[in-house]
Amino acid sequence: MADRDIQMNVNGLALKVNSGPGRTLLSALREDLGLIGAKDGCSQGDCGACVVLLDGQAVNSCMVLAPQAQGRDILTVEGLAENGVLHPLQRAFGETWAFQCGFCTPGMLMSCYALLSSNDEPSREEILTAISGNFCRCTGYQAVVKAVQQAAAEIRASSSGDGEQGRAPA
Ligand code: FES
Ligand code: FES
C-alpha cells in the first residue's frame, strides 16, 4: 500500500500525518507530530505505556494502525492541561507521588482520565480495573488509586460550583 496522508483531530487540532504500510498511531503521534508523551514500552499491546484516547476510549496506540484514526478525535497526555494549567488528575499524581520513573505515567494518566470521564466517583476496584492494562514497576498502584480518588473529589467539587482549573472532565 502506498503512503498517504491521514487527517485526524489531535488535542483539538486538525493535523495530518503520513501513513505507510503497518504504520501505527503511536508512531505517527511520536514521529510526525512530536507528541512523545505516549511511550513505546512493548509494541504489542501488553504494557499500556502508549495509551491515548480515540474518540473518548482508552486504546493502546501501538495496536491501532494510523489509517484507523482517519477523521477521528485523539487525546494525548499533552492535551490534558489547558492554557498551561494542569488537569486535576495530573496535579493529584504529583501530590500523591503516584509516579516515580514516569515511563508508564502518560498511559496511566490517560486510562484514569478515560475512567473519570464516565465515572466521577470510582471505587478502588473500578480504578484498579481501569489501570489493569498499565504496567508500573515502581508505585505498587496504591498511590495511583489515591491520586484518582483525590482528582475525582476535586472534579465533583468543581462541578458542584466550587470552581476548577484545567481541562474539564470529558
Ligand atoms: S507500547 Fe503499546 S501496550 Fe506497550
Ligand atoms: S512510574 Fe511507572 S514504571 Fe516507573
Q: What is the DSSP string of 40-90?
A: -SSSSSSS-TTEEEETTEEEEGGGSBGGGGTT-EEE-GGGSSBTTB--HHH
In the three-class reduction of DSSP (H, G, I as helix; E, B as strand; rest coil), residue 161 is classed as helix
Provide the 10 A C-beta neighbour count for residue 44.
9
| pTM of the shown model | 0.92
Domains of the chain, first to last: 4-77 (3.10.20.30), 88-161 (1.10.150.120)
Phi, psi (rounded to 5 degrees) for 32:
-85, -40
29 or 100, greater pLDDT: 29
* pLDDT at site 27: 97
Dist. CA 79 → ligand 2 center (Å): 21
Please tell me the distance between residue 6's alpha carbon and the centre of ligand 2 in angstroms.
Answer: 32
Section 93-122 average pLDDT: 95
- Which grid coordinates are listed for 32? 510526525
> From ligand 2's centre to the CA of 62, what distance in Å?
19
14 secondary structure, DSSP code: E
pLDDT at 18 over 70: yes
Mutate to test the pocket of ligand 2, among 99, 111, 131, 134 (most ligand atoms within 8 A of CB): 99
pLDDT band at 169 (very low <50, low <70, confident <90, very high): low
